[in-house]
Amino acid sequence: MYPSRFRYEAPRSLTEAIGLLHTTESAGDQAKVLAGGQSLVPLMKLRFAAPELIVDINNLPGLDYHRADPDGTIRVGALCRHADLEHSALLASTQPTMAAAAPLIADPIVRNRGTLVGSLCHADPQGDWASVVVALGGSVVAQGPGGRRSIPADAFVTGPFENALAPDEIAVEAVIPPPQGVPAGGYLKLERRVGDFATVGVAVALDTAGGTVTRAGIALTGVGGSTIAATEAGQALTGKVLTAEIIEQAAGLAAQAARPRTDHRGSAEYKRHMVRTFVTRLLTRAGQAAEAERAA
Amino acid sequence: MTTVYDDRGEQAAATDVPLRRIAFTINGARKIAEVEPRLLLAHLIRRGLGLTGTHLGCDTTNCGACTVLVDGKAVKSCTMLAVQADGHEITTVEGLATASELHPLQEGFRQEHGLQCGFCTPGMMLSAKALLDANPSPTEEDVRWALSGNLCRCTGYQNIVKSVLWAADKLRAAGNGAGGEPGAGDGSGAGEDGSS
Ligand SMILES: Cc1cc2nc3c(=O)[nH]c(=O)nc-3n(C[C@H](O)[C@H](O)[C@H](O)COP(=O)(O)OP(=O)(O)OC[C@H]3O[C@@H](n4cnc5c(N)ncnc54)[C@H](O)[C@@H]3O)c2cc1C
Ligand code: FES
Ligand code: FES
C-alpha cells in the first residue's frame, strides 16, 4: 500500500517547520507534521489521511529530551520516543504513572519510533498517554508563527482524533507539573494481547503527604469517544486518607464517568466493571505505599 | 530507484512526481537513491535494492515481518518513509551473515528449529539482534518481551525463544574467547529467508 502523493520537507529548524505549515495552510492545502509516524503513516497508507505536504520534524535538533526541572516539573520533548520513556531512570525514580504506562504502549518496535507528544496530538480515544498526562494535570506547549502558548492536556484533546492546535502550530513539549508531595499511582491496561490498544486503561496519579492525598487525578482510556477525565473521582480523594471506603467511593465515581460501548473488545458492562476494578487496585496499592511512608 | 506509473493521460502527472535524492548505508554499503517521498522503506529495500529477505506481512504496522534495524534500532520498514533513511544506517537480514558464516542468530534458528514457513523469521532475527546488542544475557522473559511486536503464525514461539537464547549463549561464548558452540555454522545456508 502507498500513501497518496505528497510533498516532503525535513526542515532543520523549528521556525522553518512552522513557516512551511503556515504557507501551506495559507495556500489552502493541508500540511501534516510527521513525528514517529506510527499513527500517521498507517493512516496515509489506508488513505484516511492525504496531506499535500509532510513536514518531517525528525531532523529538528534538541527535541528528543525528557528531563526534570529543579522544581520537579517534567518536560518531554516532541521527539522523545516511547522507548526512551520506557527505559527512563528519571521516570522510574520520580513518576510512577508515566513509568507504568510507557512499556504498555503498543509493541517494542512501535515504541522505538512513536512519541508521547505525537500520541497526544493524534488524540486517539484509545491512546494511553493522553490519560496519563490528563491524570497528572499536564499541559502541551505549542509553538506557532505568533509564539508559544501552553494548553492544559484536558483542553488539548478536543475530541476523537482532534486536538486544539492551529494548523500552523507544532506541539514542542508536554509538561507535567511538579508533585505536591510524594508521587504515587500507576497505569493499568487491559489488552487482548501484548501490543494491542486498550480495552480499558486507567491512569491514577496521586501526590501524598504524611499519608494524606494532596492532589489526585484519574483518567480513562478506551471507554468513551475520547480520553475521559474522571474529575469527581479525583476530587473525592483530595485531602483524604486512602481508606477502603474512600477507595470504593472513588472507584464508583470513576466507573460512572466511563462511557463505554460494546465492541469486539468487550461489552460496555464489562469495561465499566474493569474501570472500577483497576481504580480500586491502583488506589489500594497507593494506599499501602502511603501507609508505609507514614510509618517510616 | 525507478517507479513506473500508469499513464492516465493527465498532463501534469509526469512532471508532478516529486523526487528526493537520499544517501544511506545498508548492510555496510553506502548507497544513493532517488525516491518519491511516498515510497516506503520496505519498498526501497525489496524493490530498489533487491533485498527480498525483508518481508511484507500485514502492511498495516501490526506483524513485524518487515522489521529492519535503523541505526541499530528495530523499526517496521512498512511504516517508515524511504526518504527518512537519508543519512541513516540500515541493517536487513542479508546483513547478518558473512560470505562464509551464518550469524549466531541464524545458526540458532537452524539448531533450535526456530522457523516453519520462515515468513516471520527475518523480522524475528532483527528484533532479536537489537535485543542481544543491548543485552547480551537476556532471560527468557526478556526475549519474549523483545519479540512481542513480531507475530508468528506457525511456531507457537517456543522454538523462536530457544533459538535466540541459543544465539545469546553462542555470542557470549565467542565474546569470552572460549570458542564456539557445538554445531557451528559452515555457511552452507539453511534457507532461513523463506519465500519472498
Ligand atoms: C501496532 C500499533 C499499536 C499501537 N498501540 C498503541 C497503544 O497500545 N497505545 C497507544 O497509546 N498508542 C498505540 N499506538 C500508536 C502509537 O503510540 C503512536 O506512536 C502514537 O499514536 C503517535 O505518535 P507518533 O510520534 O508516531 O505520531 P505520528 O504518527 O507521526 O503523528 C500522529 C498525528 O499527530 C500529529 N503530530 C505528531 N507530532 C506532532 C507535533 N509535535 N506537533 C503537531 N502535530 C503532531 C501528526 O500530524 C499526526 O496527525 C500503536 C500504533 C501501532 C502501529
Ligand atoms: S508488514 Fe510491516 S508490520 Fe506487518
Ligand atoms: S515461521 Fe511461519 S510465520 Fe513464523
B168 pLDDT exceeds 90?
yes
What does the pLDDT average to over A41-63? 97
Residue that terminates a domain, selected from A134, A153, A176 = A176
Q: Nearest Cα to B110, choosing from B17, B16, B183, B196?
A: B183
B180 pLDDT exceeds 90?
no
Pocket test for ligand 2, best of B45, B52, B59, B81 (most atoms within 8 A of CB): B59
Supply the CATH number for residue A19's domain: 3.30.43.10
Residue B118 Cβ < 6 Å to ligand 3:
yes
For residues A288 and A222, state if they share a domain. Answer: yes
For residues A45 and A90, state if they share a domain. Answer: no
Domain contains A155: yes
- The pLDDT of residue B7 is 72
Which long-range contacts does A100-106 make (Cβ < 8 Å, 24+ apart)? A100/A186, A100/A187, A100/A188, A101/A128, A101/A129, A101/A132, A101/A187, A101/A189, A101/A203, A104/A128, A104/A187, A104/A189, A104/A191, A104/A201, A105/A129, A106/A38, A106/A82, A106/A195, A106/B149
Residues 6+ apart with CB under 8 A from B51: B26, B27, B45, B92, B94
For residues A195 and A171, state if they share a domain. Answer: no
The ipTM is 0.94
Domain contains A2: no
Residue B161 Cβ < 6 Å to ligand 3:
no
For residues A289 and A235, state if they share a domain. Answer: yes
Domain contains A216: yes
A217 pLDDT exceeds 80?
yes
Q: Which amino acid type is present at position B183? A: G
pLDDT tens digits, one per residue of B109-134: 999 999 999 999 999 999 999 999 99
Domain contains A61: no
For residues A154 and A246, state if they share a domain. Answer: no
Domains annotated for chain B, with CATH where assigned, are 9-95 (3.10.20.30), 104-175 (1.10.150.120)
- The pLDDT of residue A284 is 97
Report the alpha-carbon distance of residue A296 to residue A156 in Å, rounded.
Answer: 40
Q: Do A110 and B61 touch (CB under 8 A)?
A: yes
pLDDT tens digits, one per residue of A251-260: 999 999 999 9
Report the alpha-carbon distance of residue A178 to residue A222 in Å, rounded.
Answer: 27
Supply the CATH number for residue A241's domain: 3.30.390.50
B175 falls in which pLDDT band (50, 70, 90)?
confident
Out of B18, B59, B149, name the one closest to residue A107 (CB): B149
The conformation of residue B11, written as its DSSP 8-state character, comes to: T
Report the alpha-carbon distance of residue A230 to residue A220 in Å, rounded.
Answer: 7
Percent of chain A with pLDDT strictly greater than 70: 100
A235 falls in which pLDDT band (50, 70, 90)?
very high
**For residue A206, how many other CB atoms are within 10 A of its CB?**
32
For residues A15 and A81, state if they share a domain. Answer: no
What does the pLDDT average to over A6-14? 97
For residues A38 and A70, state if they share a domain. Answer: no
Residue B62 Cβ < 6 Å to ligand 2:
yes
Render A250-279 in DSSP notation, one character per residue. HHHHHHHH-----BTTB-HHHHHHHHHHHH
Domain contains A1: no
Q: Label each residue of A170-235 as H, E or C.
A: EEEEEEECCCCCEEEEEEEEECCCCCCCCCEEEEEEEEEECCEEEEEEEEEECCCCCCEECHHHHH
Sheet with strand B29-35: strands edge to edge: B29-35, B20-26, B89-91, B67-70, B73-76
CB pairs under 8 A between A and B: 82
Pairing of β A139-144 and β B29-35 = unpaired
Q: Nearest Cα to B61, choosing from A111, A208, A10?
A: A111
Give yes or no for B86 touching A (CB within 8 A): yes
Pocket test for ligand 3, best of B155, B157, B158, B164 (most atoms within 8 A of CB): B155
- All 3 cell numbers of residue B53? 529477505
Domain contains A52: yes
What does the pLDDT average to over A18-23? 98
B14 pLDDT exceeds 70?
no
pLDDT tens digits, one per residue of A91-126: 999 999 999 999 999 999 999 999 999 999 999 999
B188 falls in which pLDDT band (50, 70, 90)?
very low
Give yes or no for B38 touching A (CB within 8 A): yes
For residues A220 and A256, state if they share a domain. Answer: yes
Residue with cell 519472498: B196
- The pLDDT of residue B176 is 74
- The pLDDT of residue B186 is 39
Ligand 2 atom closest to the CA of B42, numbered from 1: 2
For residues A116 and A218, state if they share a domain. Answer: no
Pairing of β A139-144 and β A147-152 = antiparallel
Percent of chain B with pLDDT strictly greater than 70: 84
Q: Which domain holds residue A242?
A: 182-295
Mean pLDDT of chain A: 96
A295 falls in which pLDDT band (50, 70, 90)?
confident
Residue that terminates a domain, selected from A148, A176, A204 = A176
B3 falls in which pLDDT band (50, 70, 90)?
low
For residues A170 and A186, state if they share a domain. Answer: no
Domain contains A14: yes
Residue that terminates a domain, selected from A36, A56, A76 = A56
Supply the CATH number for residue A128's domain: 3.30.465.10
Q: Do B61 and A41 touch (CB under 8 A)?
A: yes
Contact B147, B165 (CB under 8 A): no
The number of distinct structural domains making up chain A is: 3
- The pLDDT of residue B193 is 41
For residues A159 and A190, state if they share a domain. Answer: no
For residues A84 and A122, state if they share a domain. Answer: yes
Report the alpha-carbon distance of residue B40 to residue B147 in Å, rounded.
Answer: 23
- The pLDDT of residue A293 is 74
pLDDT tens digits, one per residue of B57-115: 999 999 999 999 999 999 999 999 999 999 999 999 999 999 899 999 999 999 999 99
> Which of A80-89, A236-245, A282-291, B128-137 shows the lowest per-residue confidence on average (mean pLDDT)?
A282-291
B17 falls in which pLDDT band (50, 70, 90)?
confident
What does the pLDDT average to over A179-183? 94
